[in-house]
């Protein structure tokens, strides 16, 4: 456990230095090939858990210290220990003993070890009182930055607490059945036969009661099924696709929505993304699902004159870059890496992409604007701004259970998404 605690503390430190947790952990796996799958899982659980509950853990640590720590590495190790004591099933004495040993590798030596021992044992003794005190702070209570809490409360006064609570839960594992290959009922039966109970959601989405590794899913390697959030599965159906259409999936990586489009209708699909490395993921997904003949382009959606061949599209899916505030339970580092000032930057990029893609949409065509955000600045406010400047655009109504004016808020069944369908009149 000592090495796991040290690696997790180091990963958390890199995140607070500005790195993505996903990229940090990929680097950790490459640097430590000897780690077993069980050890990787433990490091991932600790890293995600500390970031998921960082607001609470940070307030607890401040209550346990007489003065702020100057050694950030020691601070991150203490956060790891507090997370394990509060949320893991590891015996308390083992967590403390191993954390003390891990502190021996820090520059503080025995002094750091003594502090770790005192802080963690003090938490064990005073746990209930300290956890109650943390509730006095909204950051401690909800484990989100204060600006994020204030924004949600302003925009969703009736729902903000439920959204904050959903953000701190483990995300559901949801499957999309390739209905060109097998129907949902038959695939569901395959899961039941493998002792994998599921819940049927909208559009045939299947939510696993207990997540499993992808290699255990029947027919995954053969393209029978794809892992995709139920909220994300709405995109292809909202496009109202028909055989023979020319379709553009802009900002397409990693390709989940692209493959779903091809399962909905026989269309001429162009996949666009500005990241060559992420386009490799798109190609892998297309290959696994045995999709051929897709036009894959590396290019910036906001600059069509560089990549567009002049042929107008009948349908465009614009899954634009955003704050990702609707998927923070899958990426808890986002809560602490984002700043309130980022909203204006994302909004400018989103408007540029919308304006550019509108030029390549044919008359009577439809563009589906999508974000995985819950903030209005990136969602309906963007659409209202666009409509005010494009008289040939009108927003079409979208209907889906749990959706209000195109907005899905995260809950136990899906992540947070926004959808707006624009018709070129």
Query: CATH 1.10.940.10: does it fit domain 2-141?
Result: yes
pLDDT single digits (tens) 229-241 = 999 999 999 999 9
CATH 1.10.940.10 domain locations along the chain: 2-141
Contact 283, 309 (CB under 8 A): no
pLDDT surpasses 90 at 16: yes
CATH 3.40.50.150 domain locations along the chain: 239-424
Average pLDDT over residues 229-258: 94
30 contacts: CB under 8 Å, gap ≥ 6:
none
Catalytic residue among 251, 298, 322, 372: 372
Task: Report pLDDT for 67.
Answer: 87
Give this prediction's pTM. Answer: 0.93
> Which stretches within 239-275 are classed as H helix?
256-264
CA dist 312 and 210 (Å) reads 44
Task: Report pLDDT for 230.
Answer: 96
Fold entry, domain 173-227: Alpha-Beta Plaits (3.30.70)
pLDDT surpasses 80 at 110: no
Alpha-carbon Rg for the chain in angstroms: 23
Average pLDDT over residues 81-108: 92
251: annotated active-site residue = no
Among the listed residues 228, 234, 245, 387, the one whose alpha carbon sits nearest the alpha carbon of residue 316: 245
pLDDT single digits (tens) 118-129 = 999 999 999 999
Task: Report pLDDT for 45.
Answer: 96
Task: Report pLDDT for 2.
Answer: 85
Among the listed residues 61, 237, 46, 256, the one whose alpha carbon sits nearest the alpha carbon of residue 140: 61
Q: Across-strand partners of 296? A: 271
pLDDT single digits (tens) 289-329 = 888 889 999 999 999 999 999 999 999 999 999 999 999 99
Q: CA torsion sign, 21 to 208 to 220 to 290?
A: negative
397 contacts: CB under 8 Å, gap ≥ 6:
none
Give the sheet arrangement for strand 206-208, strand by strand: 198-200, 206-208, 173-177, 225-227
Q: What is the domain class of 239-424 according to CATH?
A: alpha beta
CATH 3.30.70.1170 domain locations along the chain: 173-227
Phi, psi values for residue 225, rounded to 5°: -150, 155
Phi, psi values for residue 226, rounded to 5°: -130, 145
CA dist 425 and 420 (Å) reads 16
Give the side-chain half-sphere CA count within 13 A for 423: 9
């Amino acid at each position: 456990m000592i090495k796991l605690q040290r690696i997790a503390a180091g990963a958390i430190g890199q995140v607070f230095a500005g790195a993505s947790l996903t990229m940090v952990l990929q680097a950790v796996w490459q640097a430590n090939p000897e780690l077993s799958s069980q050890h990787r899982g433990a490091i991932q659980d600790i890293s995600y858990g500390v970031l998921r509950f960082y607001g609470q853990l940070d307030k607890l640590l401040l209550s346990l210290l007489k003065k702020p720590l100057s050694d950030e590495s020691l601070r991150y190790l203490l956060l790891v220990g507090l997370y394990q004591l509060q949320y893991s099933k590891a015996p308390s004495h083992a967590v403390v003993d191993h954390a003390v040993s891990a502190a021996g590798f820090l520059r503080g030596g025995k002094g750091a070890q003594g502090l770790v021992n005192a802080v963690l044992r003090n938490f064990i003794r005073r746990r209930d009182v300290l956890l109650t005190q943390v509730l006095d702070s909204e950051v401690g209570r909800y484990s989100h930055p204060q600006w994020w809490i204030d924004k949600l409360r302003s925009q969703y006064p009736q729902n903000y607490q439920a959204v904050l609570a959903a953000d701190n839960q483990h995300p559901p594992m949801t499957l999309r059945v390739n209905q060109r290959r097998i129907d949902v009922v038959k695939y569901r039966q395959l899961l039941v036969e493998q002792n994998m109970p599921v819940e049927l959601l909208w559009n045939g989405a299947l939510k696993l009661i207990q997540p499993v590794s992808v290699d255990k899913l029947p027919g995954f390697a053969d393209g029978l099924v794809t892992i995709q959030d139920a909220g994300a599965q709405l995109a292809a159906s909202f496009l109202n696709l028909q055989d023979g259409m020319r379709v553009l999936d802009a900002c397409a990586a990693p390709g989940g929505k692209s493959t779903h489009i091809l399962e909905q209708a026989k269309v001429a699909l162009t996949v666009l993304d500005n990241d060559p490395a992420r386009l490799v993921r798109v190609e892998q997904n297309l290959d696994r699902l045995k999709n051929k003949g897709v036009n894959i382009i590396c290019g910036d959606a906001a600059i069509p004159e560089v990549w567009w061949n002049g042929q107008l599209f009948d349908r465009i899916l614009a899954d634009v870059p955003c704050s990702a505030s609707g998927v923070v339970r899958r990426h808890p580092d986002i809560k602490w890496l984002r700043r309130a000032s980022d909203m204006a930057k994302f909004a400018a990029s989103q408007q540029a992409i919308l304006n550019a893609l509108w030029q390549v949409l044919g008359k009577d065509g439809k563009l589906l604007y999508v974000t995985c955000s819950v903030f209005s600045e990136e969602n309906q406010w963007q659409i209202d701004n666009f409509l005010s400047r494009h008289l040939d655009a009108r927003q079409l109504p979208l209907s889906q259970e749990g959706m209000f004016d195109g907005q899905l808020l995260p809950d136990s069944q899906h992540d947070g998404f926004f959808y707006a369908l624009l018709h070129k009149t």
